[in-house]
Amino acid sequence: MPDSEKTAPSAISVCPNCESGEMEAFYEVKGIPVHSVLLMPSREHAVDYPKRDLRLGFCPECGFVSNILFDPTVHEYSTSCEESQGFSPTFNAFAKDLAKRWVEEYELKDKTVLEIGCGKGEFLALMVEEGMSHGIGIDPAFVPERLDTPVASRLEFIQDLYDERYTHLKADAVCCRHTLEHISPTSEFMRKVQKTIGDQKDTILLFELPDVHRVLKEAAFWDIYYEHCSYFTTGSLARLFRKHGFDPLELMLEYDDQYIVIAGKPASGAKVPLLDGEDDLKRITEEVKAFPERFRKLKESWLEKIDGFYSAGKRTIVWGGGSKAVSFLTTLGLGEQIDFVVDINPHKHGKFIPGTGHAVRSPDTLREDKPDCVILMNPVYEKEVREQLNGMGLDPTIFPV
C-alpha cells in the first residue's frame, strides 16, 4: 500500500499532558515530511519521503499544544539523524555556559548525570568536563566515533530509546534537552522519570526545550514540524513538573528567548510558590486564538516577497538545512523559487531536503553561485552568517525569519 494511503491515527482528544483537558484543534498543515532532520541521499528520495498531516490542538486546562494527529510509528530515529546543532559556535557557547552554570548552581561536581535523549553526547561531555564524575547518555542516534572529548572514559552510552527497561539507572541529575518535544504522551514519560528517580529526593531534573509562546506570537510556522509533537510554554512545562511531584527550582527563557530552561527536584511537601512565567494560561489562550489569522498574513507576505524575487530573476537561497528549513519550504509549498539550501554542517552537504527536494550545499558554493537574497532560518546566527558572507566578498540581502 502506498504510504500516502495509510490511515492516520484518529485525533487525540484528551490532553496527554494533564490527562484531563479536551484538545481543541486550531492549525493544520497537510502532507509534511514525517522527518525533517533526516536529509535524503537523492532528490527522488527526498520528494517521495513519507508525509503525514499535522493538526495542532490546544488544551485550555493546562495550556499544552500538541499535534493531535501524531503517528509515532513513522519514526525512525537512528544514527543517520542529523539533529545535532553542535556545529554552530553560537550554540556551542550557549551549551557550554549552561553546563557550567548547572554544575555550579546545583553543586553537581563529582556526581553522576543521566541524559535522556543525549544526541551525539556533546552536552553530556560538557557536564563531565565541568566536573561531574560520570555521565550516562541514552539515545538511539548516538554515534561513538563522532564524539571528541578528554573525558570519554567517564562517559557511558546506551544506543536506544529511553523506556521502562532503563528506569533502574541511577543518577544525581537527570538531564533532558530538546527531547520532550518529540514525545507525545508527556505525562507517561514523566512517570518513567519518576520511576528512575524513585525515592532519591536530592535528584535534580534539568530540562531544556523550545518555547511555543514565541512560535504562536510570531506565527513562526517554520518551528512547527512533524517530529515536534509536543509544544510547551513555561507554564505548561512547570505544571507538568508539579503534576508529577517535582518542584520547579528555576524557569526561564534562554537563547534569544527560544528555549525554556527548567530545573526541578522531587517535592519536599512544603508549598513552593509559583515562579515567574508559570501563570501564563490566559496569555497562551489568547495567542492560540490569534494564531490562525497571524499565520495567514505571514504566509501571504513571505510568498509575495519570494515570488517577487523569482519573477525579477534574483537568486534566493535558504541558509540552514535543518528542521526549520524543511517546515518553511513545505508549508509555503516552495519549489524553484528557492535555488538551494546551504548549511555549515559538512555531514549535510550533497543531501536533499525531504518533501521539497532542495539540494543542501556548503556555504563555499556561494562564491560561484552568488545569491541576491538569503533567507536565514535562525536569526540568532545573523551576525555569524553576515561575517561569513562578507568574508567571501558577498553582500546579499539577508531576510531572517
Compute the least distance from the CB of residue 349 to Zn ion, in Å: 42
Q: What are phi and psi of 359, to 5 degrees?
A: -75, 145
Nearer to Zn ion, 20 or 397 (CB): 20
Residues pairing with 51 in the sheet: 33
Name the residue among 153, 117, 160 with its Cα closest to residue 135: 153
DSSP 147-175: ---TTGGGEEEE-S--SGGGTT---SEEE
Please report, for residues 52, 80, 98, 341, 352, the alpha-carbon distance to residue 74 in angstroms, rounded to integers and kept in the order given.
9, 15, 33, 26, 19
Nearer to Zn ion, 21 or 371 (CB): 21
Q: Which is nearer to Zn ion, 15 or 197 (CB)?
A: 15
Q: How far is the CB of 338 from Zn ion (least distance, A)?
A: 38
- Closest approach of Cβ 120 to Zn ion, in Å? 33
* CB atoms inside a 10 Å sphere around CB 258: 16
Compute the least distance from the CB of residue 284 to Zn ion, in Å.
Answer: 11
- Extract the C-alpha cell encoding 184: 507525545
- Residues lying near Zn ion in the complex (CB under 5 A): 15, 17-18, 21, 59, 61-62, 64
Task: Report the residue number, 15 or 32, with the smaller CB distance to Zn ion.
Answer: 15
Rounded to a whole number of angstroms, the minimum distance from the CB of residue 178 to Zn ion is 22
Instruction: Supply the minimum distance, in Å, between the C-beta of residue 18 and Zn ion.
Output: 3
Cβ-Cβ contacts under 8 Å for 247 (sequence gap 6 or more) = 241, 264, 265, 266, 267, 268, 272
Q: How many residues would you count in the chain?
A: 401
Task: Order across the sheet with 246-254: list the strands.
Answer: 155-158, 134-138, 112-116, 173-177, 204-210, 259-266, 246-254
Measure the CA–CA gap between 267 and 55, rounded to whole angstroms: 35
Q: Which residues contact 288 (CB under 8 A, 6 or more apart)?
A: 26, 58, 65, 216
Q: How near is the Cβ of 63 to Zn ion at its closest, in Å? A: 7
Nearer to Zn ion, 24 or 48 (CB): 24
Rounded to 5 degrees, what angle do the CA atoms 40, 43, 44 make? 100
Q: Which is nearer to Zn ion, 107 or 286 (CB)?
A: 286
Residue 20 or 42 with smaller CB distance to Zn ion = 20
